[in-house]
């Protein structure tokens, strides 16, 4: 029985070696290596736009002579460099390339070799060439035309509380919406540059900027901002909400050491925000006045592993601290 199993595995390994390129050296061309050089461009989201740039995606071949396995950049792995050139605006640049390694029994082969590029546009019809090339000289080029038929600008600003603490998506579940001649929505930055938002591709017109519905109805002042985009970007739009800090610490009951990376939720009236404790076991939420319940949880632990299992608090014009738990 064991010998039969060994013979079966050996047979499967031989088949894999014959059908897939092995891992190592410069000849691992993978599934695409048997075909000549080629490159494709996926259908563009829009062939006519007012935006100042366009994002294109597609696939490209993998070199049969210059590819390498099994680590490094996509350019190194595939042996192919994919670039873009806006022939109308005479601008060029590199794409971001990605390749998947797939395999069985320790034998690796290449999956799809994909690329993505953000290409600046000039007014009028833009002919954009995507070129895939290997060091041996094998080259493929594909072109697409994108028409820029109008001007557009950017709108940006920041959401914060009265202490200038940025209120982003992770901190407060925040996004903002610009509505008017067109509609744009931006998820607000978190952690680094917390509270900063920005929207591009905004054509001239009259708009209203509004914080989108969020878990705890943060009371922003002003509640909205009306703007008129004419012929320039609009920046430095600020909105401030009065909020307070809810903080605490999670430790291990057996030795008092900090319980890092523990998940917590703060909820009120069916809405919730989530965070994790930091390296020292500390956590923090920033919320407006109201009644809340804070509950730690961990998918690896059974219910009841935290003491207390939750805590109810009231935020009324001030910070709430020492909301502590053990596990």
pLDDT for the residue numbered 164: 94
- Partners of 280 in beta bridges: none
Can you tell me which residue has the tokens 């900027």?
Answer: 209
pLDDT for the residue numbered 147: 97
Q: Looking at the predicted structure, is the pLDDT value of residue 26 above 50?
A: no
pLDDT for the residue numbered 315: 97
CATH code for 244-326?
Answer: 2.60.40.10
Cβ burial 160-182 (10 Å sphere, 16+ → b, else e): bbeeebbbbbbbbbbbbbbebee
**Distance, CA of 325 to CA of 327 (rounded, Å):** 7
pLDDT for the residue numbered 134: 93
- Residue 66's pLDDT band (boundaries 50, 70, 90)? confident
What does pTM read for this prediction?
Answer: 0.75
Domain 17-148 listed as CATH 1.10.3470.10: no
pLDDT for the residue numbered 5: 34
φ/ψ of residue 189, rounded to 5: -60, 150
Distance of CA 209 to the CA centre of its chain: 23
Question: Once rounded to an integer, what is the mean pLDDT over residues 27-38?
Answer: 48
Q: Looking at the predicted structure, is the pLDDT value of residue 4 above 60?
A: no
Distance of CA 193 to the CA centre of its chain: 15
DSSP track, 6-28:
HHHHHHHHHHHHHHSPPSSTT--
- Residue 12's pLDDT band (boundaries 50, 70, 90)? very low
pLDDT for the residue numbered 31: 36
φ/ψ of residue 318, rounded to 5: -165, 165
- Residue 11's pLDDT band (boundaries 50, 70, 90)? very low
State which CATH number among 3.30.70.1380, 2.60.40.10, 3.40.50.300, 3.30.70.870 fits the domain covering 153-241. Answer: 2.60.40.10
**Distance, CA of 99 to CA of 58 (rounded, Å):** 12
- Residue 301's pLDDT band (boundaries 50, 70, 90)? low
- Residue 27's pLDDT band (boundaries 50, 70, 90)? very low
Q: Looking at the predicted structure, is the pLDDT value of residue 28 above 80?
A: no
Q: State whether the Cα torsion 146-151-157-159 is positive or negative.
A: negative
pLDDT tens digits for range 151-191? 999 999 999 999 999 999 988 889 999 999 999 999 999 98
- Residue 23's pLDDT band (boundaries 50, 70, 90)? very low
How high is the mean pLDDT of the chain?
86
The CATH 2.60.40.10 portion of the chain extends over 17-148, 153-241, 244-326
**Distance, CA of 285 to CA of 272 (rounded, Å):** 11
pLDDT for the residue numbered 176: 97
Can you tell me which residue has the tokens 């019809």?
Answer: 125
Closest by CA to 195, choosing from 175, 215, 209, 225, is 175
- Residue 65's pLDDT band (boundaries 50, 70, 90)? confident
Helices H, strands E: what count in the chain? Answer: 3, 23
Helix (H) or strand (E) holding 130: strand 124-133
pLDDT tens digits for range 108-117? 566 789 999 9
φ/ψ of residue 81, rounded to 5: -110, 130
Residues 6+ apart with CB under 8 A from 91: 85, 119, 120
């Amino acid at each position: 029985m064991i010998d039969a199993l060994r013979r079966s595995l050996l047979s499967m390994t031989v088949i894999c070696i014959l059908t897939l390129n092995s891992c190592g050296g410069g000849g691992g061309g993978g599934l695409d290596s048997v075909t000549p050089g080629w490159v494709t461009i996926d259908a563009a989201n829009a062939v006519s736009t007012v935006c100042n740039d366009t994002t294109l995606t597609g696939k490209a071949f993998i070199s049969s002579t210059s590819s390498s396995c099994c680590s490094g950049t996509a350019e190194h792995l595939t042996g192919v460099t994919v670039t873009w050139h806006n022939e109308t605006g005479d601008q060029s640049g590199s794409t971001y390339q990605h390749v998947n390694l797939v395999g069985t029994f320790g034998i690796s082969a290449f999956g799809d070799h994909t690329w993505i590029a953000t290409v600046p546009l000039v007014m009028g019809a833009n002919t954009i060439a995507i070129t895939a090339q290997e060091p041996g000289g094998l080259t493929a080029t594909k072109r697409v035309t994108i028409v820029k038929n109008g001007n557009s600008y950017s709108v940006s600003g920041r959401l914060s509380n009265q202490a200038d603490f940025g209120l982003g998506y992770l901190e407060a579940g925040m996004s903002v919406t610009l509505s008017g001649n067109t509609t744009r929505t931006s998820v607000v930055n978190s952690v680094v540059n917390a509270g900063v938002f920005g929207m591009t591709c905004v054509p001239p017109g009259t708009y209203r900027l509004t914080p989108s519905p969020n878990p705890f109805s943060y009371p922003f002042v002003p509640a909205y901002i009306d703007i008129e985009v004419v012929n320039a970007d609009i920046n430095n739009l600020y909105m401030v909400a009065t909020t307070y800090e809810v903080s605490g610490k999670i430790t291990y009951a057996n030795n008092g050491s900090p319980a890092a990376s523990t998940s917590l939720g703060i909820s009120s009236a069916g809405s919730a925000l989530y965070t994790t404790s930091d390296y020292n076991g500390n956590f923090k939420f920033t919320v407006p006045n109201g009644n809340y319940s804070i509950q730690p949880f961990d998918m690896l632990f059974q219910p009841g592993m935290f003491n207390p299992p939750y805590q109810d608090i009231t935020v009324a014009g001030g910070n709430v601290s020492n909301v502590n738990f053990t596990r």
